Structure 1
Amino acid sequence: MDVPAAVWWLTIAGIAGLLLFDFIFHVRKAHIPTLREASFWSALYVGVALVFGVVVWIFGGSDPGAEYFAGYVTEKALSVDNLFVFLVILGGFKVPRAGQQKVLLFGIVFSLIARSGFIWLGATLIDRFAWVFYVFGLILLVTAGNLFKPEGGDSHTPDNVMVRIARRLLPASDTYDGDKLFTVENGRRVMTPMLLVMTALGGTDILFALDSIPAIFGLTQDVYLVFTATAFSLMGLRQLYFLLDGLLDRLIYLSYGLAVILGFIGVKLILHALHENNVPFINDGEPVPVIEVPTGLSLLVILGVLLVTVVASLVSGRGRAQNAVSAARRHAQEYLEVEHDPDVREQIYQRLLAEEEQLKRLPEKHRRWIREEESLMALLRRAHEEHGRA
């Protein structure tokens, strides 16, 4: 699309305004979002993204509209998958529930900045070198293959390179001071773990962008559509985290669905690269007559794969068992190691009791597997003993 500079600036200003609004009215004062709050704002941000897509469809045409929606849905699905890693990082740093909002908003802003840089770089490379489509396609195929490999909860460590550098350069406290980034300890100013967890999220956001940007360039090469689809997929991610917190572990087949989608887009990119080929050792530098996948079909494939993946995850007995186990483990750890407010701890303990009841109602084969999880059983016993002494 031929997008005037004024529209670009209005779009950037609108996105920046939404982020500023989010900070001032929701994040600046640390609190735990209610289910109603998270649901309302998640729906609102999705609605804004869909309305924007309709506007693109009306004023830009059906092809740009379909490209935007395909890009938005793909990026949103990748963002939800990224929430699993955020969950590991926040748990690894024992971030109090009320302070998680600020961390997540920082992650979203940093991710948007990092991906904007990758978008500019990718657009520049595509404009100058047609062979970049081969590289992007191979990146997605490798990523898809990696997603098919099972991962454990320790596969994403919160102690990444950026965190180690930050610890080396700046003195750090071992305890939180609300949601402050710095505090005074023994008469000197030190950073809190809150700044470290933000650094960890920033490092992982850069890795996420390496997969995300090639994927959306495989659906559209229009920089405006790439930027807006990416930006709107990140908006509302903070609220979605709290909304899906109890369901994240239930989506056990999401990574497989994303693997299929990224593999499909990778093949699509390579077909496009062959169609535009100018690499000397491929067909003597001439374009190869191959079938190109239309955007409408791409959108249908993406939506279909995600629908099958989500439904299969929700009806899976293994998914229910894994979700209950992960929730019980997380809430036991929060009760024992993270939260100190008596009221919040009591709420967590009541949720833990409800999750243990769910565990007892699982089929015997799942209960037997749970009983063999010695670390989980020990954690639950500690939580009950701690509550008995309170």
Structure 2
Amino acid sequence: MPRQNFLRLSPPFRAEHVGSLLRPRALYDKRVLLDQGKCSPEGLTALEDAAIEQAVKLQQQVGIKSVTDGEMRRAVFFEGVFDKLEGMTALPDRPIAEFKPYIPHIAFLLAAGLKTSPSIYCTGKIKRVRPFYVDPFKHLKSLVPEQDVRLIKMTMCSPSWFHQRHGSDLTYDRAVYKNDDEYFDALGVVYREEIQELYGLGCRHIQFDDPTFCYFCNDAMISGMEEAGVNHEALLTTYIRAINVCVRDRPGDLTVSVHLCRGNFKGMSFSEGSYARIAKKVFNELDVDTFYLEYDNDRAGNFEPLIHFPLDKVAVLGLVTTKTPELETVEQLTARVHEAAEEMVRENPHRTKEMALNQLCISPQCGFASVWEGNPISEEDQRRKLHVLVEAAKQIWTT
């Protein structure tokens, strides 16, 4: 029996947003001072609290029904998971030679001439000695009516984030974990502990942010892996399993989603390529309810891979770009949603167009600020983009 999914069953959720929002100017300026060593992290707390309240109001005002904290407390989207685990050692200046050069964003660092980059190495048994996002959830929970707590979405990085940078040979000490399965099984335990605690507090939506899967769509990376003797098909299977282990035995009313990202750094992306290479495998084997798919420009390819989309999951089409201020129109978004639905029914006698539309939602292609500096757009641009998203959703699914 298919798992229930509140995004699919509730029309108000047709317009989603991925998670991060632009930092308000006061918080932005304070983070500049933090980077310069002129204030402490504690000095940001009051401004972060105010920014989160502002983020909640923005979502409510434009008509986005799900709620995030905009990731206002994070410097980067993946902060707050691996850095909190026992067994992980921070390496502020890890030699760039210990990163895999075929990974798209690592190729960018190499081209920029960097010799080192911050990272993490697993030196001991992994344990969750403190929560990832329990306190941020509690704060966000205090800002919404009790009946809206179920609408809160918590975002967190995928378990594969550091592994894809360093591979099976340089991610963990082989004296601690003999192979990838042991390493990801250990991570699965701590992710399940976090998810269970969040669920107990009322969280009903967990989103994994994962740039790794779209990297497998990149021809240059695949060629680089083959030259390095890396079995990319086996590694893709490993990364699917990694998430599946994290969400195993989850409650039936907990929605789990994954955002497939091509990179989002100050308006830049790092990768390109159609979902065709991974669609059948990822859409059908990844044990999640909802896929956030980037479709804001040609680098994502066309909608043809959606013919492989299963009948019991939801595809949130990232049709609105967060990388430039150019504003999409309701007409453009409507046409693209219908184009996607028509592709989903092609060669599939078991799915009507009405069924396909019922499986679709729309969103920006990524967050507006995966790093605290944000993308090169204004807060007003952000508001307009979210507004047009909601207006398009109203027209597509209420007419």
Q: TM-score range by the shorter chain?
A: under 0.3
More helix by share: 1
Instruction: State the TM-score, normalized to the length of structure 2.
Output: 0.27
Q: Which structure is higher in RCO with an 8 Å CA cutoff and minimum separation 6?
A: 1
